Structure 1
Amino acid sequence: MECRVSIEHPLTQCLCVQEECNVRGICDVPVEAVARMVLDPKNSHNDYGSFHSPGVQGSPHHAIDVESSSHQVNDDTTVLHSESESSRLAPDMTQSDLYQRQPLLPPSAKNDSWSGSGKGSVLHSPSSEYYDVEDKTEGLSIHRNGSLSNGIVKIDVPPPLREEPRFPKEKWKTFVAFLMLVVNFIITTATLALVHERVPDRDKYGPLPDIFLDNVKAADWALDVSEILIMISTNTAFIVLIFHKHRYIVMRRVFMILSLLYLLRSITMFVTVLPVASTTYYCSPKANATNGYIVAQRVWQLISGFGLSINGKHTYCGDYIYSGHTVILTMSYLIIAEYSPKRCFPVHWISWIVSVVGVIMVLVAHGHYAVDVIIAYYVTTTLFWMYHTLANNANLKQNGPNNFLARLWWFPVFRYFEKNVGGPVPRQYEWPLPWPRWCHGKHPNRNS
């Protein structure tokens, strides 16, 4: 049997025609053609034909010529080439043929390296200017040089719209956190009203040995200085909270942290009652009996004076472990340092100095033992940094086998307050009141 084939693709099965029965059959490619395709590295075998490789002098389009004789096929009436003619697998292709075979290639621009036809045309990769992506404030613009219009096609992709703001106000949660603070402050004052009756008699039990109090003479005026510094620090921190753009988020964080500190202080103050540290501080006489009326009267007196002694309202003793003065001074500094502008670093340093001086004045006045101050500083800073670490990391807001912070007893309350906050709160500020209008920007963001 004699086979005359015309190969259109290296991977395509050849067509074999039998002369006797004139039927179509399948045969293999001649050994010479297969060897030439494998051994010649210049051949390019792909679905889009063969191309002239640059840098090869005088090399024609790679093609496989197979002699064929004219035979007639019954089912499709196809006439093959004569034996004297050679059929090429990849004839000369024009640019339009290339696009038809490769529709995913980019359109050629004027004087582009894609243009050209014939044997001398050279194929290069698209130029780097083909895709020109520019970031704009209102969206993404894609510039594309088209060969048909020779213009610029701009596709503006608008930014995605958020169904929920990243930092929602959630005023109701802030109000709940404020109620928690009020309740825990009342619990602390009620605990002090009860502890006052259990304080050891000053005539029988003197102050406990303390490395600082034993070496520094008591000065009653120092307690007033400390409380004046407390008022300055708290007012400064309050101004930072008011002018913060995300004030409701920051306020409920402060309210919750303070409520936890007051609750822990009421527990430590109640379980262990220490003798009075000062021999000159005035303590109200004991009632030698406690009832609801006496406790409520003492609570109201303490709340009306904001727990300070400078106004003469704080005349009850026994609130030692741990120091409430140190808690407020430390908390005020942490708020100012965390939520005020970074460029206001002189304010940060002044706030730190004020807090340190205020704590030292408490010790000079013998208002607290040194251990009260140390415990208060440790508990306040640890709770503040722990809370903000949880709030600024989304993976720590979820319960997991490796998230041991999720085992904190106040973690469910934390998740309720922080589950919708999308990351660290930025340091942004705005005028808190709706008037005057000139204090607001032209386009205020009311979705923050």
Structure 2
Amino acid sequence: MGPRSGCSVGTWTCEQVGHWLENEGFSDYVDLLCREHRLDGPGLLSLTEADLCSPPLRLEVLGDIKRLVLAVRRLQRENPAALQELGITSAGGHFGDCQRHGLPDSPPGQREGAVRLDPEYWKTALSVVYVLLVFGITSFVMVIVHERVPDMRTYPPLPDIFLDSVPRIPWAFAMAEACGLILCSIWLLVLLLHKYRSILFRRMCSLMGTVFLLRCVTMLITSLSVPGVHLQCSRKVYGDIWAKLWRASTIWLGFGMTLAGVQTCGDYMFSGHTVVLTMLNFLITEYSPRSWYFIHTLSWVLNLFGVFFILAAHEHYSIDVFVAFYLTTRIFLYYHTLANTCAYQHSRRMRIWFPLFSFFECNVGGTIPNVYSWPFSQPQFLRSLIIADRSE
């Protein structure tokens, strides 16, 4: 006799769940689910696909996962009273989360309904405040390190394999910034047309702010000598705190760009221009359709050429650019891996070590599908004309 004929599923013991699993053809998982993890009736009814895919279960046979999911869904439909008693309002409503735990992609429409993608504009506004504050701190730190830049007569440029081998190109740094402006234009277009632009913009601000905050630390810890005598850098004292703040505001408003007339010294480890180029490249390739091969190729070409132009201008040491590229790519990939899998999103360790990530991503339930929509509503007069034309 099956366990369902004796009593309500909500009162099943681990042994009865084991009998049900054997009857449904899942005898291989009785020890794992019932004996090792003590899964009883209520636990079975609330079992989700995410539970099966993620630790501590982490089932590896996709066919078994899907069949077990369908069996539990059928059990939920057959026991609505038990579901209501447990507070589960939608049979099968827990499933569809496996895409964020490493299983193959679902179709865009299905994946869209399986994850929570609320725009949460107030969090996006806070992320903008965060990144602007970090840029302000970075600008002030750049003023501080300018006052500590080593004297070139005492500390000449350090040996560098690339800088010692490639002659300086005077116009190269302007070309690097031009590459950045093109990448920025492409990213703004993708961001404008993306359906989940609020989440994307929030992630960009969070990542940019975090990397530049780390850059503040590295600039303050060690002051490298000027990479080239052409820079004519010398220690500059700005006087009182107000003079420093005024200079910092100039750097902040000019985004630290030489095209905007900003000239800085001492902010070498690591390259902020490389950070921006690389971050924009990764944002474009992550949030644009995989079929946009030309855009992805152009994005990588602009990123790599921009890095080359930075070095060709002798504005940074090679180690500055290498560290900037490595840190930016790692932080971007780590952030998105955690956000897409949700494996540690609500863990205590994540809240302690990455509080900003936990705060911004706590209500984003998985991978962001690349769905696009026109951001502006149709004017009322145009909508009226369309309705009138259809009525005729």
Structure 1 residue 309 corresponds to structure 2 residue 258: yes
Distance 1:241 1:189 in 2: 26
Give the match for residue 296 of structure 2.
Answer: 348
TM superposition outliers: structure 1 runs of 4+ over 3 Å = 157-160, 162-165, 285-290, 435-439
Match in the other structure for 2:116: 166
Q: Normalization by structure 2: what TM-score?
A: 0.66
CA distance in 2, matches of 1:366, 1:436: 52
Match of 2:200 in 1: 250
> Which residues in structure 2 correspond to 1:133-144 (within 5 Å)?
none
Look up the match of 2:58. none
Find 2:346's aligned residue among 395, 398, 403: 398
Are the counterparts in 2 of residues 208 and 277 from structure 1 also a CA contact under 8 Å?
Answer: yes
Contact 1:190 1:295 in 2 (8 A): yes
CA distance in 1, matches of 2:332, 2:115: 25
Does the alignment pair 1:237 with 2:187? yes
Q: Does 1:186 align with 2:129?
A: no
Q: In proportion to residue count, which structure has more helix?
A: 2
1:213 CA displacement? 0.5
Q: Does the aligned pair in 2 maintain the 1:330–1:381 contact within 8 Å?
A: yes
Mark the runs of 5 or more structure 2 residues left unpaired by the alignment.
Answer: 1-89, 94-111, 387-392
Contact (CA 8 Å) 1:180, 1:255: kept in 2 or not? yes
Asked if residue 321 in structure 1 is aligned to residue 264 in structure 2, the reply is: no
Closer, same or farther: CA 319–414 of 1 in aligned 2, 3 Å? same
Q: Alignment RMSD, CA only?
A: 2.7
| Number of the residue aligned with 1:297 | 246
Larger RCO (CA within 8 A; separation ≥ 6): 2
Residue aligning to 1:24: none
Once residues 378 and 297 of structure 2 are traced to their aligned partners in structure 1, the CA distance between those partners, rounded to angstroms, is: 33
* Matched position secondary structure for 2:286: helix
- Name the structure with the higher strand share: 1
Which string of whole-angstrom CA distances, capped at 9 and with x for unpartnered residues, describes residues 146-182 of structure 1?
A: xxxxxxxxxxx9997x999821010000000111000
Q: 1:343 is paired with a residue of what secondary structure?
A: coil
- Structure 1: tracts of 5 or more residues without a match: 1-156, 443-448
Contact 1:225 1:358 in 2 (8 A): yes
Q: How many residues align?
A: 277
Q: CA deviation at 1:394?
A: 2.4
Alignment TM-score, normalising by the size of structure 1: 0.58
| Higher CA-based Rg | 1
Aligned-residue offset at 1:260: 0.2
In structure 1, what residue type is equivalent to 2:338? L
The partner residue of 1:380 within 321, 328, 331 is 328
Quote the offset at 1:436 in angstroms: 4.7
What percent identity do the matched residue pairs reach? 39
Q: How does 1:277-288 map to 2 (within 5 A)?
A: 277-283=227-233, 286-288=235-237
Instruction: Work out whether residues 218 and 278 of structure 1, in 8 Å CA contact, stay in contact via their aligned partners in 2.
Output: no
Whether the 8 Å CA contact 1:196–1:316 is kept in 2: the answer is yes
Aligned residue runs from structure 1 range 15-414, under 5 A = 166-283=116-233, 286-288=235-237, 290-312=239-261, 314-399=262-347, 406=350, 409=353, 411-414=354-357
> What is the distance in 2 between the residues matched to 1:224 and 1:348?
23
